[in-house]
Amino acid sequence: MKPSAASRTVLRSGRPHRRTATTRPVYGPDVQPSRSAADGAGITGAITEDAWDRALTLLRGDSKIVLACHLNPDGDALGSMLATGLGLRQLGISVQASFSNPFRLPQSLTQLAGRELLVPPEQVVAEPDVLVTFDTGSVDRLGDLAPLVAAAGDVIVVDHHITNGGFGTHNLIDPQAAATAVVVDDLLARLGVRLDAAIAECLYVGLSTDTASFRGAATSPSTHELAARLLATGIRPDEISRRLYDARPVRSLHLLADVLGRVVLEPGAAGGAGLSWSYVTQDDLARHGVGMEWVEGVVDMIRGAEESTVAMVAKQTGPGEWSISLRSRGPVDVGALSVRLGGGGHRLAAGFTGRGPLEGVVDALRTALDAVPVTS
């Protein structure tokens, strides 16, 4: 029986643990032994052994299992979910994998291994025995699939967002992991899944996208060690990176020019730390004939502005509704900022949903910025 929300706990020990380069073997595409949980017993110690054991028991059981990630999935959400689906299929366990409408993959992820596991949200079993969520910081981020949290017998939350309060009956949350894909790698190792090229591709996409191509502050020696093991399966990083970052229609460049051309600099915001922001509307998308996916990376470009430390892009998702992406270069914790505004994320990358006129959303952001401490 699933405990009430009040009785659920986030299972984190908080014990630091650093893996060395010899923690797990690096093996090539011709010889790929099953990985052992003993090779990497925990990522940083943030997830207790009891939490791992209970999750593994559920996944190995004779159950109806549904895998779900957040709406408008990015590389880490989709890659983590599909890697898990492929791993469970390898063990003879059938699953459904899905995400909320709009049930459409961004062009950069349409060739991702395991995509054949995806089913539209309307076709997902209504009352699964086990629901596993990936890279999803809160229930509302599941969109159309949110009711499954209450309907499922058990809910396993797999995530790395520090703002995730643990909405599952079992929570595999490691805020120190560079990506949810890192947690999934450990999960699959504990299940005894053989690391093949298809699974490696999914995990590599998650790792690459959530570390901004290994440029993010969360990138560590263990991040590169994992990348090395994934590459040893024979996947092509050049081909994956081209699909993720270097293949776009010319009309998307015209949209990008519009969004960058209207960047506003507010050097006095956040106690002088500075804010640079821009926006994209549904009219912009219609005029250029492209989807919102083509502005997903623009907030990282704006973060590069030397005159400010916080960057924001407001993306109109509907009448009076905005998806807000935030980035920080260090002094401002945009994860804490987003929590104040109903969202969440990490210290350097976060977001929230804004409602009403754009001017009101930006005013609310300015007010919240003034309330968040600025570190030196």
- What pLDDT was estimated at residue 43? 57
Per DSSP, the three-state class of 236 is: coil
Domain parsing of the chain, residue ranges: 5-245, 250-371
Q: Across residues 111-116, what is the average pLDDT? A: 96
The predicted-structure confidence for 176-188, as pLDDT tens digits, reads as follows 999 999 999 999 9
Phi, psi of 368 (to 5 degrees): -65, -35
pLDDT score of 39 more than 80: no
* Maximum Cα interatomic distance, the chain, rounded to a whole number of Å: 58
Fold: same for 5-245 and 250-371: no
348: DSSP letter: S
Q: Across residues 198-219, what is the average pLDDT? A: 92
Q: Across residues 293-322, what is the average pLDDT? A: 94
- What pLDDT was estimated at residue 44? 61
Beginning with the edge strand found earlier in the chain, give each strand of the sheet holding 170-173 in spatial order. Answer: 95-98, 65-69, 130-134, 154-159, 170-173
- Cis-peptide into 102, omega within 30 deg: yes
Q: Check: CATH 3.90.1640.10 for 5-245?
A: yes
Per-residue tokens: 359: 């001017």
pLDDT score of 14 more than 80: no
SS3 percent helix, strand, coil of the chain, rounded to 5, is 40, 20, 40
pLDDT band at 375 (very low <50, low <70, confident <90, very high): confident
pLDDT score of 3 more than 60: no
Identity of the amino acid at 267: P
pLDDT score of 29 more than 80: no
The predicted-structure confidence for 243-283, as pLDDT tens digits, reads as follows 988 888 999 999 999 999 999 999 999 999 999 999 999 99
Per-residue tokens: 219: 């990138």
Q: Check: CATH 3.10.310.30 for 250-371?
A: yes
The predicted-structure confidence for 58-92, as pLDDT tens digits, reads as follows 999 988 999 999 998 999 999 999 999 999 999 99
- What pLDDT was estimated at residue 346? 87
The predicted-structure confidence for 316-326, as pLDDT tens digits, reads as follows 989 999 999 99
**How much is the mean pLDDT over the chain?**
88
